[in-house]
Amino acid sequence: MNQSIVEKINQLRTQIEEHNYQYYVLDNPSVPDAEYDRLMRELQALENSNPDLVDANSPTQKVSGKMDGAFQPVNHLTPMLSLDNVFSEEDLESFIQRINRRLHSEQEIEFTCEPKLDGLAVSIVYQDGVLVSAATRGDGQTGEDVTQNVRTIKSVPLKLRGNYPSLLDVRGEIFMPKDSFDKLNETAIAKGGKTFVNPRNAAAGSLRQLDPSVTAERSLAVYFYAIGSAQDDEGKSELKQSHFDRLQQLKDWGLPVCPEIEVCMGKKGCLDFYSRILRRRDSLAYEIDGVVLKVNLIELQDELGFVAKAPRWAIAHKFPAQEEMTKLQAVDFQVGRTGAITPVARLDPVFVGGVTVSNATLHNMDEIDRLGVMVGDTVIIRRAGDVIPQIVKVVNERRPDNARMVTIPSHCPVCGSPVEKEEDQAIYRCTGGLFCDAQKRESIKHFASRKAMDIDGLGDKLVDLLCEQGLLNSVADIFILNKETIASLERMADKSAENLISAINKAKTTTFAKFIYSLGIREVGEVTANNLANHFLTIEKLLMANHDELVQIKDIGEVVAQHIVAFLGNEHNLDVIDKLLDRGVHWPEVKIMSLEEQPLIEQTWVLTGTLNRMKRNDAKQILLSLGAKVSGSVSKKTSIVVAGDSAGSKLAKANELGVSVIDEDTFIERLSSLGVKVTD
- What residue type is 614 in one-letter code? M
Residue 16 interacting with ligand 9MJ (CB under 6 A):
no
Residue 114 interacting with ligand 9MJ (CB under 6 A):
yes
Residue 287 interacting with ligand 9MJ (CB under 6 A):
no
Residue positions annotated with a catalytic role: 116
Angle (CA) 675 679 680, round 5° = 145
C-beta of 114 vs 664, nearer to ligand 9MJ: 114
In the bound complex, what is the minimum distance in angstroms from residue 628's beta carbon to ligand 9MJ?
58
Size of the site for ligand 9MJ (CB under 6 A): 10
Residue 173 interacting with ligand 9MJ (CB under 6 A):
yes
Residue 442 φ then ψ, to 5°: -65, -35
C-beta of 23 vs 225, nearer to ligand 9MJ: 225
Angle (CA) 399 401 404, round 5° = 80
Q: Could you tell me which residues come within 8 angstroms of residue 487 by beta carbon, excluding any fewer than 6 positions away?
A: 493, 494, 497
In the bound complex, what is the minimum distance in angstroms from residue 220's beta carbon to ligand 9MJ?
15
In the bound complex, what is the minimum distance in angstroms from residue 222's beta carbon to ligand 9MJ?
11
Out of 19, 62, 116, 620, the residue judged to bind ligand 9MJ by CB under 6 A: 116
Q: Segment 52-111, which members bind ligand 9MJ (CB under 6 A)?
A: 81, 83
The radius of gyration computed from the CA coordinates of the chain, to the nearest angstrom, equals 33
Under DSSP, the state recorded for 21 is: I
Q: With contacts defined by CB under 6 A, name the span among 92-100, 112-120, 411-419, 628-636 that binds ligand 9MJ.
A: 112-120
In the bound complex, what is the minimum distance in angstroms from residue 409's beta carbon to ligand 9MJ?
47
In the bound complex, what is the minimum distance in angstroms from residue 83's beta carbon to ligand 9MJ?
5
| CB contact at 8 A, 148 and 66 | yes
Q: Could you tell me which residues come within 8 angstroms of residue 579 by beta carbon, excluding any fewer than 6 positions away?
A: 474, 476, 479
Taking alpha carbons only, the member of 226, 227, 205 closest to residue 217 is: 205
Q: With contacts defined by CB under 6 A, name the span among 114-122, 369-377, 499-507, 596-604 that binds ligand 9MJ.
A: 114-122
Residue 319 interacting with ligand 9MJ (CB under 6 A):
no
Count of H helices and E strands in the chain?
24, 24
In the bound complex, what is the minimum distance in angstroms from residue 288's beta carbon to ligand 9MJ?
7
**Concatenated DSSP letters for 398-447?**
G--TT-B-----SB-TTT-PBEEEPTTSS-EEETTGGGSHHHHHHHHHHH
Q: Is 308 left (phi over 0), alpha (psi -120 to 50) or beta?
A: left
Q: Segment 646-665, which members bind ligand 9MJ (CB under 6 A)?
A: none
| CB contact at 8 A, 73 and 147 | no
C-beta of 310 vs 678, nearer to ligand 9MJ: 310
- Alpha carbon distance 196, 189 (integer Å): 10
Strands 85-86 and 314-318: parallel
Out of 292, 419, 504, 614, the residue judged to bind ligand 9MJ by CB under 6 A: 292
Q: How many CB atoms lie within 10 A of CB 155?
A: 18
Count how many Cα atoms sit within 13 Å of the Cα of residue 4 in the half-sphere of its side chain.
0
C-beta of 314 vs 577, nearer to ligand 9MJ: 314
C-beta of 47 vs 287, nearer to ligand 9MJ: 287
Taking alpha carbons only, the member of 507, 630, 439, 523 closest to residue 532 is: 523
C-beta of 174 vs 419, nearer to ligand 9MJ: 174
C-beta of 123 vs 338, nearer to ligand 9MJ: 123
Residue 135 interacting with ligand 9MJ (CB under 6 A):
no
Out of 24, 95, 111, 225, the residue judged to bind ligand 9MJ by CB under 6 A: 225
Q: Segment 526-555, which members bind ligand 9MJ (CB under 6 A)?
A: none
Out of 9, 12, 109, 117, the residue judged to bind ligand 9MJ by CB under 6 A: 117
In the bound complex, what is the minimum distance in angstroms from residue 636's beta carbon to ligand 9MJ?
54
Task: Mark 458-497 with x for binding to ligand 9MJ (rule: CB under 6 A) and - for no binding.
Answer: ----------------------------------------
- What residue type is 438 in one-letter code? A
| CB contact at 8 A, 134 and 146 | yes
| CB contact at 8 A, 399 and 419 | no
In the bound complex, what is the minimum distance in angstroms from residue 224's beta carbon to ligand 9MJ?
9
Site residues, ligand 9MJ (CB under 6 A): 81, 83, 114, 116-117, 173, 225-226, 292, 314
